[in-house]
Structure 1
């Protein structure tokens, strides 16, 4: 596994700094950084060639439906994508925490998995396939270099549900880099 680059680390800190500046809860900051890694390797790969572009890989129609009115048509802007992601995360978290909706299997789908499913598959997705974990899941700190993210997902996980990818990248309890 290769360590993340200075540019990737700077992008992770940029995402986290926006969250801190705007009073976003730490678990949502952590999710935003993790999702940026999953979607674009923290900006190192900004297009997958499937009409999804940018840091968080927003496609044209979801962008138009959820963000164009407030953020404009520039879905390639890193700043716009960061704002959009935090708005989505907060909205999806409210839905997850609304206990009047019994269709969310909270006993088997974590908040983080739910957030990623809603981002990746769409806000109306109801497919909460069982979680799959990867034995190759590293743990530790990206900031200190104690652990580095994988360059590619394990071959056995390439066709799994999006939520399964959450365990295939390094995690931290918090994304706070020493200055």
Structure 2
């Protein structure tokens, strides 16, 4: 889908373009979604999401990890993660990176914006299972060996990492309201 639209901001009109691609392969339990924005007066975040079954993940673990890393570098990503749907649902609150960080997951990518925001020292000083600095100054962190199993059943590692980085930056499901227009505003870096 491609859509040309106008966004009103005050008395000015911003003409821009929105694009989206959704794909699914039934036999392999693979779904992807890409959304991008191009507005002249306001930057918008573009997203890429992959939904992969545990069975497929187990079969192609190395390839999926490589895809994640190469995609981050290709698009100069600012934030990303790999997680099980249960861990994602447990931490999800309405909003975008402009209002809150979605959570801490099995695998986390903090781009330069977030490394500068939290400080590299703070990100690397947590007791992650492993960390890796990428060539674009971003850092990938892992909480455990696998994105399924114990990490899905127990949120202690997620909560401990959020507390270390600063829990005031992450959405809090306990503060969520039954109002579709409510957005938690947390301590997050400004996205230019």
Shared fold per TM-score greater than 0.5: no
Query: Comparing both chains, which one has the higher relative contact order based on Cα–Cα distances under 8 Å and sequence gaps of 6 or more?
Result: 1
- Name the TM-score class by shorter chain: 0.3 to 0.5
Larger radius of gyration: 2
